[in-house]
Amino acid sequence: MTPSKIGPPIIELARARTKEFLRETEAIFWVFGFPLLLALVLGFAFRDKAPDKVPVGVAAGPTAQQRLAALQKSDALQPRIVTDGDDALRHGRISLLVSGGPELVYAYDKTRPDALTARSAVDDALQRAAGRRDPLVPAQTFVREQGARYIDFLLPGLLGMNLMGTGMWGTGFVIVNARMKKLLKRFIATPMRKRDYVLSHFLSRVVFLVLEVGVLVAFGWLVFGVRVNGSVLTLALLCVVGGFAFSGLGLLTASRARTIEAASGLMNLIMMPMWLCSGVFFSYDRFPEAVKPLIKALPLTILNDALRGVMNDAMTLAQIAPKMLWLAVWGVATFLVGVKIFRWQ
Amino acid sequence: MAEAAILCRDLRKYFADVKAVDGLDLTVERGECFGLLGPNGAGKTTTIEVLEGLTAPDSGEVRVLGMTWKENERELRERMGVSLQETQLADKLTVYETVRLFRSFYRNGPDPDALLHELSLDEKRNARVGKLSGGQKQRLAVACALVGDPDILFLDEPTTGLDPQSRLQLWEVVAQFRQQKGGTVLLTTHYMEEAERLCDRVAIVDHGHLIALGTPAELIARLETRNIVEFTSEPPLPASACANLPGCHGVARHGEAWQLRVDSLADAVPRVIDIIEQNGAKLVTLSTHEATLEDLFVSLTGRELRDT
């Protein structure tokens, strides 16, 4: 290996930081392996499939066989003959019970959507079997919107969550570790400029960003067919700004902590609400109106909304610019405060 | 003539529970190797970190190479090399990468590879720092101190915990720095032997005070006597056994071991053996040596250096 020319401190610090990271096996897993695993598991758990057939019961009796045959023609139903109809209904083993002799009796819980589906399908099947002719026969088009599946919603959320996790841990953990090992103290005994040290963390994050975003987006595309509907460049820029915001937050979190334990607690305290509220796994629309403004101000919410905007809704740079600006404000503000109160030794 | 390399006047640094430095005056001349000696907790590290500009003193004046930390911090940092106590360099970087990183912080300095060669670290060039032995790590720490081609070198307990061979290697590095460059060295140690071998002058500090200052030879000469007899017996002698030994200037007992400072070994040793026999005991160990700084410290403070 021929030594290359030694660059300015900020470049050398970022280079050293990057090498250190790439040699940290556990970190590699948490940055790359974990989100992929999560995407894989959740993607399959919520993959698209036809809705389950609704189980319905036909009370045993003289007409039972005939009714069963009629119901079996419906592709929405899974009918069977039952002798303990009321019991099966109560325990949810069937959604609807067909009983009665010549007259038809439906028993079901009208607050359950599956029971309503059953009601409609059962009635259609039996009426048709009894000779009903539908005056209108509609042609049907089945629509599958790319971008409307759960995985399409999930993947940008995972991307945002990953940017938050790596941004905060990648910056915060390393700084606290260096402080504990008195490496920070050793650095400030040299002519190194303090801002170079801090900025080098941001710089090396950009290198990892390219890797982690690239891996997750490529994975979503190859395995689940999740496409980036907007511009890839816009997505890249958004990720850099988002990564910067969370590096700033990580720096701020780590700026005073003396031990890894203290920093970990603080990090989790900051990240936990965002994991839950910022729309990673489910939309924050489910929260009460009163707290929504608060949720929308969180950096992960801003980032997730912008990511979904670009990936799902093909928003342009101009359209997500306000969100990027807010992320930048988060980054700059946390960075400035973090540097101001930073404990070097 | 240029101003002294280090000048400090009435330096004080109090922490909540301890007066770490309590009115210290020091002058270290250019090109000198100066040792700060004392037990753990004597205030050595606080003193050196104040001089390094890492800790602000509560009061007192500090000038390094004729400059002050307030006015010339960057310039001073360029011209100073330090090795801190207990710094752990990044485990995952290689030796070369570490030196290269530190080199980038300085305007001037040697090529990292040349420096590694000088410190006999070239074989370990591509080894991870985490895999180095204690001695190699310490040499790497000194390499990082030398990488900016400093005029003054601060070494805080550079050889603590090292095996004798690694210690010798480090002494060699310090000697070279002085020879080739005429640089100034300030080091702290609690090894008296290290101070005697390396330092032109030594300051002994205890509880934040200077308790003795001079060349190692001068300091040792302050002891009234130059010879030490140490022995143990079975069963141990009663406390007053050696009280009235002629030509003996000091008696110290550490557990079962006796330590006598005597004028003449030829007179004292037979007498010690007599006393042991008179007490119906048997001699277990007996050793004699010339007085060292260690003995001076014991005579000045009544305590041993290492286990206080």
Query: Which tens digits make up the pLDDT trace of B14-37?
Result: 988 888 888 899 999 999 999 998
Q: Do A19 and B92 touch (CB under 8 A)?
A: yes
Q: Do B104 and A182 touch (CB under 8 A)?
A: no
Q: What does residue B206 show for φ and ψ, rounded to 5 degrees? A: -150, 130
Q: Are residues A24 and A67 in the same domain?
A: no
Residue that is last in its domain, among A99, A129, A159: A129
Q: Do B77 and A189 touch (CB under 8 A)?
A: yes
**Residue B122 contacts A where some CB pair is shorter than 8 Å:** no
Nearest to A46 by CA among A306, A310, A287, A282: A282
Q: Do A181 and B88 touch (CB under 8 A)?
A: yes
- Helix, strand or coil, per DSSP, at residue B206: strand
Q: Are residues A294 and A191 in the same domain?
A: yes
A193 to chain B, minimum CA–CA distance in Å? 8
Of A107-111, A138-142, A172-176, B153-157, least confident by mean pLDDT is A138-142
Of A305-309, B175-179, B297-301, least confident by mean pLDDT is B297-301
Of A248-262, B37-51, B69-83, least confident by mean pLDDT is B37-51
Query: How many Cα atoms are found within 13 Å in the side-chain-facing hemisphere of A131?
Result: 0
Q: Are residues A257 and A164 in the same domain?
A: yes
Please determine, for residue A1, whether its predicted confidence score (pLDDT) is greater than 50.
no
Domain encompassing residue A88: 54-129
A61 assigned to some structural domain: yes
A40-65 burial: b if 16+ Cβ within 10 Å, else e: eebbeeeeeeeeeebbbbbbeeebbe
**Residue B106 contacts A where some CB pair is shorter than 8 Å:** yes
B305 to chain A, minimum CA–CA distance in Å? 26
A135 assigned to some structural domain: no
Residue that is last in its domain, among A129, A158, A177: A129
B111: Cα separation from own chain's centroid: 29
* Partners of residue A6 in chain B, C-beta under 8 Å: 100, 103-104, 112
Section A109-127 average pLDDT: 88
Nearest to A12 among B84, B101, B148 (CB): B101
Q: Do B82 and A23 touch (CB under 8 A)?
A: no
Nearest CA in chain A to B129: A20
Please determine, for residue B234, whether its predicted confidence score (pLDDT) is greater than 90.
no
Q: Which domains does chain B have, with CATH numbers?
A: 6-219 (3.40.50.300), 224-290 (3.30.70.2470)
Q: Do A183 and B89 touch (CB under 8 A)?
A: yes
Q: Do B105 and A181 touch (CB under 8 A)?
A: no
Name the DSSP class of A6: P
Q: Do A345 and B92 touch (CB under 8 A)?
A: no
* Percent of chain B that is helix, strand, coil (3-state, to 5): 35, 30, 35
* Partners of residue B90 in chain A, C-beta under 8 Å: 16, 20, 178, 183
| Antiparallel, parallel or unpaired: β B257-262 and B227-234 | antiparallel
A117 assigned to some structural domain: yes
Q: Do B89 and A186 touch (CB under 8 A)?
A: yes
The average confidence (pLDDT) of chain A is: 88
pLDDT interval class at B113 (50, 70, 90):
very high
Which of B46, B51, B87, B144 to substitute to test the interface with A, most A CBs within 10 Å?
Answer: B87
Token duo for residue B49: 């970190």
A345 assigned to some structural domain: no
> pLDDT over 70 for what percent of chain B?
96
Q: What is the pLDDT of residue B146?
A: 94
Please determine, for residue B105, whether its predicted confidence score (pLDDT) is greater than 90.
yes
Nearest to B54 among A11, A23, A189 (CB): A189
Q: What is the pLDDT of residue A149?
A: 79
Task: For A304-328, write each residue's pLDDT tens digit.
Answer: 999 999 998 889 999 999 999 999 9
Task: For A99-116, write each residue's pLDDT tens digit.
Answer: 887 788 899 988 888 888
Section A231-256 average pLDDT: 93
A142 assigned to some structural domain: no
Paired residues of B229 in beta bridges: B260, B288
Q: What is the pLDDT of residue A143?
A: 65
Nearest to A182 among B88, B101, B103 (CB): B88
Q: Are residues A39 and A170 in the same domain?
A: yes
Task: For B180-226, write each residue's pLDDT tens digit.
Answer: 889 999 999 878 788 888 999 999 888 888 888 999 888 877 776 67
A280 assigned to some structural domain: yes
Nearest to A190 among B97, B100, B102 (CB): B102
Chains A and B form CB pairs within 8 A to the count of 75
Q: Are residues A35 and A154 in the same domain?
A: yes
Of A22-26, A66-70, B3-7, B296-300, least confident by mean pLDDT is B296-300
Please determine, for residue B308, whether its predicted confidence score (pLDDT) is greater than 50.
no
Nearest CA in chain B to A7: B104
* Partners of residue A188 in chain B, C-beta under 8 Å: 54
Nearest to B105 among A9, A178, A345 (CB): A9
Task: For A255-289, write each residue's pLDDT tens digit.
Answer: 999 898 999 999 999 999 998 899 888 888 888 99
pLDDT interval class at B155 (50, 70, 90):
very high
pLDDT interval class at A145 (50, 70, 90):
low
Q: Are residues A30 and A87 in the same domain?
A: no
Please determine, for residue B1, whether its predicted confidence score (pLDDT) is greater than 70.
no
Task: For B133-145, write each residue's pLDDT tens digit.
Answer: 988 999 999 999 9
A80 assigned to some structural domain: yes
Ramachandran area for residue A182 (φ above 0: left; ψ -120 to 50: alpha; else beta): left
Q: Are residues A258 and A285 in the same domain?
A: yes
Nearest to B90 among A12, A20, A192 (CB): A20
Q: Do A189 and B82 touch (CB under 8 A)?
A: yes
Q: Do B104 and A185 touch (CB under 8 A)?
A: no
Q: Are residues A17 and A73 in the same domain?
A: no
pLDDT interval class at B300 (50, 70, 90):
confident
Nearest to A122 by CA among A67, A62, A66: A67
CATH of the domain at A95: 3.40.190.10
A28 to chain B, minimum CA–CA distance in Å? 14
Of A25-39, A70-84, B30-44, least confident by mean pLDDT is A25-39
**Residue B177 contacts A where some CB pair is shorter than 8 Å:** no
Nearest CA in chain A to B84: A186
Q: Are residues A198 and A226 in the same domain?
A: yes
Please determine, for residue A50, whether its predicted confidence score (pLDDT) is greater than 70.
no
Q: What is the pLDDT of residue A231?
A: 92
A interface toward B at CB cutoff 8 Å? 1, 3, 6-9, 11-13, 16, 19-20, 23-24, 178, 181-183, 185-192, 345
pLDDT interval class at A249 (50, 70, 90):
very high
Q: What is the pLDDT of residue A227?
A: 87
Give the count of beta carbons closer than 10 Å to the beta carbon of residue A37: 11
* Partners of residue B98 in chain A, C-beta under 8 Å: 16
* Partners of residue B148 in chain A, C-beta under 8 Å: 190-191
Model ipTM value? 0.82
Nearest to A119 by CA among A89, A81, A83, A160: A89
Q: What is the pLDDT of residue B306?
A: 54
Q: What is the pLDDT of residue B82?
A: 95
Q: Are residues A154 and A293 in the same domain?
A: yes
Residue A224 CB partners (closer than 8 Å, separation 6+): A39, A43, A149, A151, A155
Q: Are residues A102 and A216 in the same domain?
A: no
Q: What is the pLDDT of residue A302?
A: 96
A137 assigned to some structural domain: no
Q: Are residues A112 and A220 in the same domain?
A: no
Section A117-133 average pLDDT: 88
Q: Do B87 and A3 touch (CB under 8 A)?
A: no
Please count the structural domains in chain A.
Answer: 2
Cα separation, B271 vs A49, in Å, equals: 102
Please determine, for residue A51, whether its predicted confidence score (pLDDT) is greater than 70.
no
Distance spanning both ends of chain A, measured CA to CA: 35
